[in-house]
Structures are given as C-alpha cells and as structure tokens.
A and B are shown apart, each in its own frame.
Chain A
C-alpha cells in the first residue's frame, strides 16, 4: 500500500470535510432548536454564494438587457469583504425566512414545514436559474490554491487552502461557542433548544431567539457555499449534492449535536474520497452511494447517531 498516496488523499479529503461540516452545522442548529430539517438550506447557501459573486463582479444577469439590474454597477470588493457581506446577507435572508414562513406555522403539522422548505428550495433554485442562468460561474478561491502553495508532509502535499478553511471554521466555531456559553442570547438559545414551552414561561422571546438561530444557520450555510464555490463552480444547483453529504454528516453525528456535525463532516469527507479510491467498482460517480447507505443504516439502527440525544418512544 502506498502510504504517501493515502496521506495525500486524506489531505485532499479534508477540504471537502470542512464544507460538509459547516453545512451540517447549519442543519443541526435549526434541527436542534425546532425539530425541522431545512431542505432549502443548500439553496439558501447557494444564494449567499451568488451574493458574494455580485459583490465581486456585479449582478451579471443572464438576460441580455437584464432589465433594471443591468444598470446596477458592480461593487468591486476584495474577496474577504465580499464573503463577509454574503454571510451577513445570508443571515438576513435566514432570519426573514423564519419570521415570514416558519413562525406562523409553529403549531402546524410536520408535513406543512416539509412543504414550506421544499417550496423554498424550488423557488430559490428557479430564481437563481432565472437571474444568473444555469451555466457555471467562476468564483475566486478564498485561500491560495496554486501549484507549490502547500506544505510537504512525508511527501504528501497539504495545501494552504485546506489549512485556511479549517482555521476559518475553527475561528467561527470559537465565536459560536463563546456566543452560546457566555452571552444572554446564547443562554436563551440553549434554553429554547431544550424546551420551548418552559422557555416561554420564563419570559424568553422564543420566536425572536429562533430567528437568531435561523440567521446563525444561514451564516454557516453561506460560509460553506463561499468555500465550495471555487472548486465546484458557482451554479444554481451546486449545493444539492453537497446537501446530501451534509445531511449524511449530520445524521451520522446525530442530528441534534453540533460536535456530531463536525465529526460527521470529517468522516463523510474522508469516505467520499477514500472509498472510491480503494474500491474500484464504486468509482467517482457512485462515491455518494456508500454515504447514502451509511445514512440509511444509521437512521435504521441508531437514529441518535454518534453524539445525538436518544429519543425514547412510547410503544
């Protein structure tokens, strides 16, 4: 066995792992607080990616005249600023979604929430396709990815971009932990996640806290989109496949565990690269298959995943 190659593959996989981890985190934050899986998370993230794109090169509508949008000049921002802008805009969209579409349905059956998130997925997807077209757009890399921009570790190349992405994710995570453990809003958010009725009784504005939760989740989604837009190219459906991996990561780690989302993302990223490399039958196209099977098995055998809370059902 070629250990250098194995190490190289692991290093390459870690980049995707960061993407899956952050999108999985977005899913987990919402699921933990509301028990809803936001199927539109990927599209919301892609939309933020396009916002960053607009910040960088202008609206670039697909239509020739572009209507009024053609008149808007580009805002030439530097890449970090554009990403930050996209994260903030994405958070606003997330908060608005909660306020307008989710909050009125608080007592509605689960099916209604599924319907709304599916409707949102369709709407955002076709809006993006309408505005920017379905063709892929070039998006700059957040961190240097060129040849030679890497560390040599035992002959394998660990790229700066992989390290940069993980460093970014860790900084954001530390901020998140600080927010959750050290601030009043974080305390309220944790209370709401545990029990909504009781939180309401002690005077926590549950609706507003959930709105912050949605904003936070959308922020992680936006980050995931901006990280991945360079390697998969920006197009309206780019996050759909990523969403499958992120769902798998979240399920594997336990749908209500942020730690699980991180670990799950790493496992899914590794298996996506390593399994096709060592099992020739699977190949590149089927690389999603083992992940999907693993997700099914986890849901069947251990719905709580690695770190999730076990739910006890009355029989």
Chain B
C-alpha cells in the first residue's frame, strides 16, 4: 500500500477542488461540441481505470483494453438498436458482455503470466480490428454503423441541443464518479487486498486461503467491465460505432495513460487522463505555431497522442517508475508484476 505524505494529501485535495470547479463551470462556458469532447475525456478515465485494476492491482499486464472498450461499445449499440432495449439496460448489457469477454481472457491469465500475458493481450489488440470487420451485423463492418436510438434529455429539460449535451455530460460524470467510488471501495476491501496479495506473491496468497482462480478471473472481468462501460458511454455520447476507433495504438495509449498516471493508485488513473488532456491541449497549440523546417515538424508531432505518450512512457519508466501519482510517496516496494 502506498503511504501518502501529508503534503501530497494537501496537493491531492487542491487538485480535487480544481477538477471539481472545472467540471462545474464547463457547461456554462463551452459549446455543445466542446462539451462532448470533454465528456469523452472524462469517460476515458474508466478504460484507464480498467487497465489499472488488471495491471496495477492484479499484476496482470494488459495491453489490450481497447478491445474491451470496443466490445462494450458494439454490444451497447447492438442491444439498444437491434433489440430496442432501454438505454440503462443496454449499457448494463454492454458492461456484462465486456466482463464476460474479460473473463475469457482472465482464464488463460491463470497460467500465462508476466511478459507472456502482455504478448497475448497485445496480439489480441492487433487482431481485434480485422476480427470486428468480419462481423458487420454487430460492428457495421469496415465503415461502422450509426445507432438510431438517441440518448436524449427528458422533455422537462427542454429539447435544445445544449440541454441534451449537458444532460449527457452530467450523466457520464455521475456514472464515472460512481464507478470511481465503487472501485475505490473494492481495492480497499477484503477482495482488493486479496488481489494485491496475489500480485505480490501468489504462493503466499494461496497459503492464506485466497482462491487464486476466482480472484484472478474476477479481477480481470471487473477491469474489462470498466473498459466496457467506457465503450458504452461513448455510444451514449456519439451514436455511432466503428472498428476504426479501436486500433492497437488506441489500446496502447490507454495502457500508457494508466502507467503514466501511476499503477496501483485510483487517483493515478485520473491524473493520467488529466496529464493526457493537458499535453493534448499544449500539442494542439504548438502544432499551430509556424516555425520553420524541422522545428514545426517537431511541434506537429506533439499533436500526436501516440508520440507524446510513447515518449512519456519511456521517460517516466526512467524517472518516476511509479507514475505521476507515485511522485512524493514514501515507499520502496515495487508495484506491478
């Protein structure tokens, strides 16, 4: 368990207040498009949290969480459109489908560990796109498909586009907060201690009576379910699913965000996404700058998420192996596998 110093705790408090104020003010100052983009960022916390649960708390390296985001999105789209289920039910079914697919990966993860699991999940992420093209009924094939159903604000909120955008924004924030709270409780509960015990030494954990099979499979399905929820909320926000959004790079950026934020810390996942947003905004600003020659080319690179996160991943491994959330924590123990 990480010990956080009093000073860090204060910093965290300040950060929390800042984020809350920011979230509160956003609907008043932004257009519907901006609000949608910000909602997408908030949703992405869930996928990052999913990786964190599997890798940070469970010790199972997962490079393929984009796959579960995709499964969640495709399933939600299918249930809400083809089966005409109400939204909340469809979202739940999306989570369940993603969790089940997560359990499917969790089962081999019982025996396949460390770098071999990383290999398997990476291959899974690479294969997901061609695979989803093969089942156009669910995924819309190469070009993707539009979802007919809309997640609209109830009539008493008015029927302007802004009202719907704000409604979706608030809904997604509430869901994300709920998921964060639930995860925080989970990792600090008996089950969460079992996960961490398993990560640090599975033989010792087994001796203490922890059921290895059950804990591993459940950990992986919870983490996949969180990623699936992110996918489901994406459909809530933009009624369109396409395999285009679930490339390998996407999966790896989610993983990189989790590592950069700090594995084994819920706060770290939020921090990772905040850092990603900050760098994204900075990159966008800089890429507009007219430098000359190589300089402007370099600035343009900063706009590429994959590049910034690749560099960040390497740099942090050297400087702060425990991620942004690990800065200032007093503990010599290693996280991860």
Contacts and interface: CB of A to CB of B under 8 A. Distances in A.
A244 B304 contact: no
A299 B108 contact: yes
Interface in A70-112: 101, 104-105, 108-112
Contacts of B55: 111
B133 A36 contact: no
A283 interface: yes
Majority secondary structure of chain A interface residues (helix, strand, loop or mixed): helix
Nearest to A70: B293
Contact of A37 (B108, B118, B126): B118
A177 interface: no
B20 to A, nearest CB: 31
Given A285-B131, A285-B133, A285-B134, A315 B203 contact: yes
A243 interface: yes
A127 B189 CA distance: 44
A129 interface: yes
Interface stretch (A138-146, A266-274, A287-295): A287-295
Contacts of B203: 315
Contacts of B296: 67
B156 interface: no
Interface residues of A, number: 53
Interface centre among A37, A104, A119 (most CB of B within 10 A): A119
B243 to A, nearest CB: 11
A292 B334 contact: no
A116 B313 contact: yes
Contact of A114 (B61, B123, B309): B61
B179 to A, nearest CB: 25
B317 to A, nearest CB: 5
Interface in B283-332: 292-294, 296-297, 300-301, 304, 306-307, 309-314, 316-318, 321
Interface centre among B123, B292, B296 (most CB of A within 10 A): B123
A16 interface: no
Contact of B126 (A109, A112, A244, A289): A244
A120 interface: yes
Contacts of B115: 35-37, 110, 113-114
Interface string B87-123: 0000000000000000000001001101110111011
A118 B252 contact: yes
B297 A63 contact: yes
Contacts of A63: 297, 300
Nearest to A40: B310
Contacts of A39: 63, 118-119, 122
Interface stretch (B147-155, B232-240, B253-261): B253-261
A296 B127 contact: no
A111 B337 contact: yes
B124 interface: yes
B130 interface: yes
Contact of A67 (B118, B127, B297, B314): B297
Given A68-B294, A130-B304, A122 B310 contact: yes
25 contacts: A67-B296, A68-B294, A101-B314, A105-B317, A105-B318, A108-B321, A109-B337, A111-B336, A111-B337, A112-B317, A112-B321, A115-B316, A116-B317, A121-B252, A122-B256, A122-B306, A123-B307, A123-B310, A130-B297, A130-B304, A130-B307, A240-B126, A251-B119, A286-B131, A289-B131
Given A67-B292, A104-B318, A123-B307, 20 more contacts: A39-B118, A39-B122, A67-B294, A67-B297, A105-B318, A114-B61, A114-B115, A120-B314, A122-B252, A122-B313, A126-B249, A126-B301, A240-B126, A243-B126, A247-B119, A285-B131, A289-B127, A289-B131, A292-B124, A315-B203
Interface of B: 55, 61, 63, 108, 111-112, 114-116, 118-120, 122-124, 126-127, 130-131, 133-134, 203, 248-249, 252-253, 255-256, 259, 263, 292-294, 296-297, 300-301, 304, 306-307, 309-314, 316-318, 321, 334-337
Closest 7 CB pairs of A and B: A122-B310, A119-B313, A123-B310, A111-B336, A126-B307, A119-B314, A67-B293
Interface of A: 35-37, 39, 63, 67-69, 101, 104-105, 108-116, 118-127, 129-131, 237, 240-241, 243-244, 247-248, 251, 283, 285-286, 288-289, 292, 295-296, 299-300, 303, 315
